[in-house]
Amino acid sequence: MGKRIIVIITLALFVFISLPLVLDFIPTQELSYVSQKYVKDGPEEVGAQNLVTAIIVTYRGFDTLGEVAVLFIATAGIGFILSREKWRKRKQRCSSSILQTGTRVLLPLIIMFGIYIFINGHLTPGGGFQGGVIIASGILVYILATPKNKLIDFLISLTESISGFGYVLLGVLGLILAAGFLDNSILPLGKFGRLFSAGAIPLIYSLIGLKVGSELVNILKYLRRD
């Protein structure tokens, strides 16, 4: 009973704190100072049609690097927690032929859709994170269909290492060839709104997509083992 009263008091205090925030909320009428700069100078400086991508990959590229690092640390933590237990051999049945045939039809389409999303990340909604998640979902179907496959583990760890390394390498190249870390003007900016535009953004976002996809597949892999 006492516990319930404490919970109610906590929630009431939270309402008390947040009610003025909601009631006095004034809807934004103008872009903030920083956003004004991004919207005004973004198209010329970065050349990406999608301003969210321009900010995520270039203006706040450090944030994204940190974010990928957090994802990696979380994956490593999951692997650590699950691997401390002795992994007993479980009898694995072969999956049904419906799943296997369906995988053969769907897997190329799902992976193609994911790649489409992260390659067009600087033009349309979407980008590395979304594309990576879609690719991971495709590989989940593949893992379910062929549980004994060892090749996929090797491929995934290879993709993970290469994409992470390439991402940092592109950042350092920006430091050497252009204005700063993760500067996208190491490649020509190209014509605004085309697929090959915005300098290194499509390249960086593809690497982020592969990295995110392989991290998520790693999480699924650890969970499958358990």
How many CB atoms within 10 Å of residue 81? 11
Task: Report how far residue 134's alpha carbon sits from residue 115's, in angstroms, rounded to the nearest whole number.
Answer: 9
Which position among 70, 158, 172, 175 is part of the footprint of other proteins (CB under 8 A)? 70
- For position 205 contacting other proteins by CB under 8 A, the verdict is no
Alpha-carbon dihedral 137, 140, 142, 144, rounded to 10 degrees: -140
Total of residues contacting other proteins (CB under 8 A):
54
- For position 188 contacting other proteins by CB under 8 A, the verdict is no
- For position 177 contacting other proteins by CB under 8 A, the verdict is no
Q: Which residue, 81 or 109, is less far from other proteins as judged by CB?
A: 81
Task: Report how far residue 186's alpha carbon sits from residue 144's, in angstroms, rounded to the nearest whole number.
Answer: 41
Site string for other proteins, 86-125 (x = CB under 8 A): -------------------------------------xxx
- For position 25 contacting other proteins by CB under 8 A, the verdict is yes
- For position 195 contacting other proteins by CB under 8 A, the verdict is no
Q: For residues 197-212, b (16+ Cβ closer than 10 Å) or e, as one string? A: bbbbbbbbbbbbbbbb
- For position 150 contacting other proteins by CB under 8 A, the verdict is no
Burial of 157 by CB count in 10 Å (0-12 exposed, 13-18 middle, 19+ buried)? Answer: middle
- For position 212 contacting other proteins by CB under 8 A, the verdict is yes
**Which of these, 180, 189, 174, 64, lies nearest to 128 by C-alpha position?**
64
86 three-class SS: coil
CB of 70 to other proteins, least distance (A): 6
Task: Report how far residue 172's alpha carbon sits from residue 207's, in angstroms, rounded to the nearest whole number.
Answer: 15
Find out whether 154 and 148 touch, Cβ atoms under 8 Å: no
Q: Which residue, 67 or 162, is less far from other proteins as judged by CB?
A: 67
- For position 129 contacting other proteins by CB under 8 A, the verdict is yes
Which position among 5, 16, 85, 176 is part of the footprint of other proteins (CB under 8 A)? 85
Which position among 2, 5, 20, 34 is part of the footprint of other proteins (CB under 8 A)? 34
Q: Which residue, 14 or 102, is less far from other proteins as judged by CB?
A: 14
Find out whether 118 and 127 touch, Cβ atoms under 8 Å: yes
Binding interface with other proteins (CB under 8 A): 4, 7, 10-11, 14-15, 18, 21-22, 25, 27-32, 34-36, 38-40, 43, 49-52, 55-56, 60, 63-64, 67, 70-71, 74-75, 77-78, 81-82, 84-85, 123-125, 127, 129, 193, 212, 219, 222-223, 226
